[in-house]
Every structure is written in structure tokens, then in C-alpha cells.
Amino acid sequence: AQTVTQSQPEMSVQEAETVTLSCTYDTSESDYYLFWYKQPPSRQMILVIRQEAYKQQNATENRFSVNFQKAAKSFSLKISDSQLGDAAMYFCAYRSAWGSNYKLTFGKGTLLTVNP
Amino acid sequence: KAGVTQTPRYLIKTRGQQVTLSCSPISGHRSVSWYQQTPGQGLQFLFEYFSETQRNKGNFPGRFSGRQFSNSRSEMNVSTLELGDSALYLCASSLAGEDVAGELFFGEGSRLTVL
């Protein structure tokens, strides 16, 4: 079974600064997808960024980028120019690419605080 | 386009009762998944439905069940409620086969409190 570990329960960053959230995962599969989801205090979870394991290039979405190290099974999220609206719980998630499997395995989350 | 809608948003039940939660996916989405979120266990996968068929099931007791209707709307039911069932229940929909990476779109959740 796959597992996802987020070793930082809480992180804080100053507005306009850069912060990196860590995520490691364990799998025996070679093809899979990795996601970062954001859950603001209002609770609705939204996708921040995703990475296909077969792509070597790291995904980027505006101020959000990932550092995907497949051999190390590491998938960190970098938030640049942090904004107050980035404050939320961030979840790293794994999904197998095999079959019709839409099950996500989540990490326990990292609570990000943005200080003005 | 309307997002994923879950009802009710909040509910309080007592031990031994049963509860039914509803989820309306985004129009055109045929896959609906359910997750339980608690402070201790985090987000745990309950089950996933596609075209009225359960495709995947998480490691939960048989008291947890679900179904999907022909219009893709889904319900989940928890019978004989226990205190430990208190949680935020999240529903998520996906385009499924049309979106290979399977991005999930989440609802705001149903907050269940069992007394």
C-alpha cells in the first residue's frame, strides 16, 4: 500500500517570502500522479498543482512549483511571494496511474500560516 | 458551472442512529468519491462510484455504504453511529476517463457530530 508523509505539521512564512513544504511517499509503482491540495479555513479543498511521475520536468503554476525527485520519492511544494490568501492546510496526495483507480492517498497535512 | 454540492452541511446525531449524506457532482462528472476527515486520522478514502458502480472501497466497516444514481448524484449512509464517526465527510467528483490525471473537485463537506 502506498503511504504519503508530510513531516511538517505546521509552517509559517512572512508575506512576500518563499516557503517550501515537504512531502515524501512510498510506492512500488512506476507510474502515478502526485498532487498538492489546499484547504482554506472555509474547508473546500482545491487543487494547487499536480505532477505526472513519467514527466521529468517539475510542474509550475504561477507562484507554485514543485521539486519532484522520483528516485528519492520526494515531492515538495514551493510557494513564492507568499500572500495572506495562501494561509491554509496543504495536503500532499498520491494516486496510482494503473486501472480505473481514482483513490487518493493523502498525507496528514501541513498548516501554513502567513504573517503580514 | 456549479461546484460540488453536499447536504446537509452540519448535522448532529446520537449513537446508534443512522445518517444519510448527499452529494451532487459537477455537471458532466461521472466519478464521485467520498472521504472522511478527522484530526487524528486525516483524510481517509471511503469509496468511489462511477456510472452507478462502486469501483473502489477503503478500509471501513460495513456500516459505511454508498450508492450512485443515474444522474451521478451520490449518497453515503452510516448505520449504527459511533462516537468515532464524528468527522467531516467530503465528497469529490471527477471527469474520470476524460481527465487521465483525475483531478478531484471537492465539496465543502458535511460535518457530522455524534453524541
Q: Could you read off the pLDDT of B63-79 as tens digits, one per residue?
A: 999 999 999 999 999 99
pLDDT, one tens digit per residue, over A85-115 is 999 999 999 998 876 667 899 999 999 999 9
What value does the mean pLDDT of chain B take?
92
Which of chain B's residues have a Cβ under 8 Å away from the Cβ of A108? 42
Round to whole Å and give the CA distance between B21 and B78.
Answer: 9
pLDDT attached to residue A41: 86
User: B9 in helix, strand or coil?
Assistant: coil
Q: Of A5-9, B66-70, B95-99, where does mean pLDDT reach its minimum?
A: B95-99
B69 grid coordinates: 444514481
Q: A109 to chain B: nearest residue by CA?
A: B42
pLDDT, mean of residues A69-87: 96
Contact A35, A45 (CB under 8 A): no
B109 grid coordinates: 463537506
CA distances from B47 to A92, B29, B31, B57 (A): 19, 16, 11, 4
Which of chain A's residues have a Cβ under 8 Å away from the Cβ of B97? 100
Q: A110 to chain B: nearest residue by CA?
A: B42
* Nearest-5° Cα angle at A43, B85 to A114: 130
User: B110 in helix, strand or coil?
Assistant: strand
User: A86 in helix, strand or coil?
Assistant: helix
